[in-house]
């Protein structure tokens, strides 16, 4: 229900922005010099994590170019990959890029173009009476300890050492995690595997893992609500949900040893530490840099390099080109971070490789 | 059976002219073809369903075999899967649901069917029960998630721990989520079925039996215990089994309160998992043949459990009542 309200308010704000701002909507060559896309109806499905951003963006794009309608069905990253492989959608979305096995099933690594579409970060939200927002400080070691079950009580000496001046209660820690497979879980367990050798050998990383402790809840909303309802609870939640529901979140110690409260700016700072990412080297968790938010990650869009329908293909690459450039403003509205310039450049270079019967579909100048 | 009675209705009386009669006979044939086709279609759908479940399950069946039923591991990272914990959770939550719903449901059904003194209450109560049956499970799940979990954690579980804590069932810390809460939610969901079906069965007990019993000097309670309930036993068993079927397969409401944790624990306060919940939670993001196959394998297990329950129920009914009344 929260999401519906959110989407409605987002829609309204975009409408206001569109009415008050640009007046020349259907005239050629607005924005970043892109030509007017042909009329088409595009279908996409996949990850739930970036869905609020895609919804806002496709709505705004449709206001700009009313002849293009884009449907996005957030069924999960796995559904996005399999729907693309079966060619029942024009684009798929996933929080983790397609792996070699999935690429082989889809016709090989050269058949599919994968671009980073947005950037998000995760928070550790908690429910402790008397400990206000950002007051609880967690280090990579204590986070791993809590989720491995070696730190069981809030008055544990390991936690007290980092939190002088804060009275942590004598209360059992209730760990809350996602029960459904999700990119959020992938990024979080990728982080734990990076900072803790114990976690890496005992649990590992994945969209679903075998959790040593805690209880599972389905979706970011349910994890957030369970934490809010359970005294002594802690769990990892998408930053957007934490900010929208005013949850208390911990300061996290990053690679440089600085304590930061996760924010979109922190995600951008973390992403900025990596000059280049690609579908096999894409992890940006535990990034160096004083401002980096440690549990950050990209979300991805996939499409076929060879588009059978030239009209549709042209509309698709035009939309995606807009999404990674002008469209990024809609990411900030819903608490995702804007893509760094170097990644936008890589995305456009990738999109320019999309063809239909040998013709390049995206006619924008190659970024320098 | 319905084909027979319908055919009887269509067969014309002998006085009708021969030409008209022939037309009726061919109409009868058309009808019987349609009826056979409909029956065949049901079997075809069932067969397609079983195949569609078994084929994707094959990678997991060949990898784990029967060991799937005895393994407690569910590790998507290492591709190692076992169904013991979700099977345990499914059976335990359904058992709790029936233990709670059976006495309450039977009592309410007896009241609605038998007690004539509160004639005025009967209509509104029946209406409320049907209303409860019509509430979508996701709404019940939301209510349980927001209200019931806190109630269990702060009041019910501590009380049980305090009074019955000598049993391993009621030990351990209560988070409000877990087997007991899930069982309670299921009990609420199966109650309307239990009440409505039992009430109709009890109402169907012939009046002569009641009157004969009362005329012999039996009290109302004695009549209920020794005449009405034995007579209605088959139908009530049917009501229990339909309730069990609903409890075994319920997904969303259970997922919201069971805690979704792959573990087996003697304590009813502990979090657990059920077969439908695992499938609902992990299906969208399951990648790889073995992982997806294991989820389908869980589906096969769920179907098998349901079939076994149904077969046991049939046997039970036959044993108690002879095949003549087994149609209930």
Nearest-CA distance B272 → chain A (Å): 8
List chain B residues with CB under 8 Å of A174.
175
What's the pLDDT score for residue B15? 54
**B176 DSSP assignment:** S
Task: Give per-residue pLDDT as tens, B286-315.
Answer: 877 899 999 999 999 999 898 888 887 777
Q: Coil, strand or helix: which one is A299?
A: strand
pLDDT along chain A (368 residues), means of 10: 46 42 38 70 89 92 93 86 92 91 89 94 94 94 96 95 91 94 91 96 93 91 92 93 90 96 93 88 93 94 94 94 93 88 92 91 80
- Nearest CB partner across the interface for B76, out of A102, A208, A215: A208
Question: Which residues are CB-neighbours of B273 under 8 A, at least 6 positions away?
Answer: B74, B85, B86, B89, B258, B259, B260, B261, B262, B263
List chain A residues with CB under 8 Å of B59.
none
CB atoms inside a 10 Å sphere around CB A244: 18
Question: Which residues are CB-neighbours of A208 under 8 A, at least 6 positions away?
Answer: A180, A181, A182, A185, B76, B281, B282, B285, B286
> With contact defined as beta carbons under 8 Å apart, do B235 and B313 qualify?
no
List chain A residues with CB under 8 Å of B56.
none
- Nearest CB partner across the interface for B173, out of A172, A179, A206: A172
Which residues of chain A from 89 to 128 reach within 8 Å of chain B, CB to CB?
99, 101-102
Give the C-alpha separation, B76 to A220, whole Å.
Answer: 20
The CA distances from residue A150 to A132, A156, B46, B188, in Å, are 24, 10, 49, 38
User: Token match 């004639």: residue?
Assistant: B119
Nearest CA in chain A to B287: A78
- Contact: A181, B76; criterion CB under 8 Å: yes
List chain A residues with CB under 8 Å of B279.
none
- Determine contact: A153 vs chain B, CB below 8 A: no
What's the pLDDT score for residue A364? 82
List chain A residues with CB under 8 Å of B150.
229
What's the pLDDT score for residue B58? 94
- Contact: A204, B255; criterion CB under 8 Å: no
Task: Give per-residue pLDDT as tens, B45-100.
Answer: 989 988 999 999 999 999 999 999 999 999 998 999 999 999 999 999 999 999 99
What's the pLDDT score for residue B17? 53
- Determine contact: B255 vs chain A, CB below 8 A: yes
Question: Which residues are CB-neighbours of B263 under 8 A, at least 6 positions away?
Answer: B72, B85, B270, B271, B272, B273
Burial of A195 (0-12, 13-18, 19+ CB in 10 A): buried
For A280, the token pair is 């096999």
- Nearest CB partner across the interface for B261, out of A78, A216, A226: A216
Nearest CA in chain A to B154: A230
- Contact: B77, A217; criterion CB under 8 Å: no
- Contact: B281, A216; criterion CB under 8 Å: yes
pLDDT of B279 above 80: yes
What's the pLDDT score for residue B22? 57
- Contact: B281, A209; criterion CB under 8 Å: no
Mutate to test the interface with A, among B287, B289, B290, B292 (most CBs of A within 10 A): B287
- Contact: A204, B77; criterion CB under 8 Å: yes
ipTM of the complex: 0.77
pLDDT of B18 above 60: no
Burial of A153 (0-12, 13-18, 19+ CB in 10 A): middle
pLDDT band at B284 (very low <50, low <70, confident <90, very high): confident
Whether the CA torsion A173, A179, A181, A182 is positive or negative: it is negative
Give the C-alpha separation, B197 to B235, whole Å.
Answer: 8
Task: Give per-residue pLDDT as tens, B208-264.
Answer: 998 999 999 999 889 999 999 998 888 898 889 889 988 999 999 999 999 999 999
pLDDT of B124 above 90: no
DSSP for A71-133, written as a single string: EEE---HHHHHHHHHTT-SSEEEESSPPPHHHHHHTT-TTTEEEEEEEEEEEEEEE--TT--T
What's the pLDDT score for residue A114? 95
> With contact defined as beta carbons under 8 Å apart, do A11 and A334 qualify?
no
What's the pLDDT score for residue B19? 54
- Nearest CB partner across the interface for B287, out of A75, A78, A230: A78
What's the pLDDT score for residue B24? 58
- Determine contact: A219 vs chain B, CB below 8 A: no
> With contact defined as beta carbons under 8 Å apart, do B71 and B64 qualify?
yes
pLDDT band at B119 (very low <50, low <70, confident <90, very high): confident
Give the C-alpha separation, A267 to A341, whole Å.
Answer: 14
Nearest CA in chain A to B72: A210
pLDDT of B322 above 70: no
- Determine contact: A230 vs chain B, CB below 8 A: yes
E-strand stretches of B16-77: 74-75
**How many CA atoms are closer than 13 Å to the CA of B235, on its beta-carbon side?**
19
Question: Which residues are CB-neighbours of B108 under 8 A, at least 6 positions away?
Answer: B125, B129, B191, B195, B199
Nearest-CA distance A76 → chain B (Å): 6
- Contact: A229, B150; criterion CB under 8 Å: yes
């Amino acid at each position: 229900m929260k999401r519906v309200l959110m989407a409605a308010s987002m829609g309204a704000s975009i409408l206001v922005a569109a009415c008050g701002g640009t007046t020349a909507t259907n005239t050629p060559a607005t924005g970043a010099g892109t030509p007017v896309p042909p009329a088409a109806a595009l279908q996409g499905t996949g990850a739930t994590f970036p869905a609020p951003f895609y919804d806002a963006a496709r709505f705004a794009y449709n206001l700009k170019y009313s002849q293009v309608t884009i449907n996005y069905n957030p069924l999960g990253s796995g559904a996005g990959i399999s729907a693309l492989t079966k060619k029942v959608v024009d684009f798929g979305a996933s929080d983790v890029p397609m792996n070699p096995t999935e690429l082989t099933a889809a016709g090989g690594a050269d058949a599919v173009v994968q671009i980073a579409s947005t950037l998000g970060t995760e928070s550790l939200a908690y429910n402790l009476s008397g400990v206000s927002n950002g007051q609880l400080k967690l280090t990579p070691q204590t986070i791993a300890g809590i989720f491995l079950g070696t730190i069981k009580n809030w008055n544990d000496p390991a936690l007290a050492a980092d939190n002088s001046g804060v009275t942590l209660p004598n209360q059992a820690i209730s760990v809350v995690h996602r029960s459904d497979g999700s990119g959020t879980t992938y990024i979080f367990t990728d982080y734990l595997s990076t900072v803790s050798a114990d976690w890496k050998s005992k649990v590992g990383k994945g969209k679903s893992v075998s959790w040593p402790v805690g209880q599972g809840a389905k979706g970011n909303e349910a994890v957030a609500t369970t934490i809010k309802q359970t005294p002594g609870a802690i769990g990892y939640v998408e930053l957007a949900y934490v900010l929208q529901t005013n949850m208390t979140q911990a300061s996290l110690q990053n690679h440089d040893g600085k304590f930061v409260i996760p924010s979109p700016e922190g995600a951008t700072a973390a992403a900025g530490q990596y000059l280049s990412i690609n579908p096999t080297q894409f992890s940006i968790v535990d990034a160096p840099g004083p401002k980096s938010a440690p549990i950050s990650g990209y979300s991805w869009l996939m499409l076929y390099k060879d588009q059978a329908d030239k009209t549709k293909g042209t509309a698709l690459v035009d939309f995606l080109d807009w999404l990674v450039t002008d469209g990024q403003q809609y990411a900030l509205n819903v608490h995702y971070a804007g893509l760094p310039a170097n990644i936008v450049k890589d995305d456009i270079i990738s999109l320019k490789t999309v063809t239909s019967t040998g013709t390049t579909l995206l006619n924008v100048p190659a970024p320098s | 059976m319905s084909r027979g009675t319908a055919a009887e209705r269509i067969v014309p009386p002998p006085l009708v002219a021969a030409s008209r009669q022939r037309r009726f006979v061919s109409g009868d044939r058309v009808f019987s073809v349609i009826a056979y086709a409909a029956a065949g279609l049901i079997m075809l759908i069932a067969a397609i369903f079983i195949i569609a479940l078994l084929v994707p399950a094959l990678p997991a069946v060949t990898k784990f075999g029967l060991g799937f039923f005895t393994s407690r591991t569910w590790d998507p990272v290492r591709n190692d899967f076992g169904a013991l914990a979700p099977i345990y959770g499914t059976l335990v939550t359904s058992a709790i649901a029936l233990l709670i719903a059976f006495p309450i449901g039977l009592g309410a059904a007896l009241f609605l069917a038998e007690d004539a003194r509160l004639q005025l209450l009967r209509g509104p109560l029946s209406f409320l029960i049907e209303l409860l049956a019509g509430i979508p499970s996701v709404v019940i799940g939301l209510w349980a998630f927001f209200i019931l979990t806190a109630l269990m954690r702060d009041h019910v579980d501590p009380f049980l721990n305090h009074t019955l804590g000598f049993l391993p069932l009621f030990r351990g810390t209560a988070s409000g989520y877990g087997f007991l809460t899930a069982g309670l939610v299921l009990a609420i969901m199966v109650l309307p079925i239990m009440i409505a079906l039992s009430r109709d069965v009890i109402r169907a007990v012939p009046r002569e039996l009641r009157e004969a019993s009362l005329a012999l000097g039996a009290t109302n309670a004695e009549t209920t215990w020794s005449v009405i309930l034995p007579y209605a036993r088959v139908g009530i068993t049917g009501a229990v089994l339909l309730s069990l079927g609903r409890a075994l397969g319920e997904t969303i409401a259970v997922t919201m309160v069971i805690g979704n944790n792959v573990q087996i624990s003697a304590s009813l306060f502990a979090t657990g998992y059920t077969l439908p919940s695992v499938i609902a939670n992990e299906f969208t993001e399951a990648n790889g043949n073995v992982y997806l196959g294991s989820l389908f394998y869980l589906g096969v297990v769920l179907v098998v459990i349901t079939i076994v329950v149904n077969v046991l129920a049939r046997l039970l009914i036959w044993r108690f009542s002879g095949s003549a009344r087994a149609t209930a």
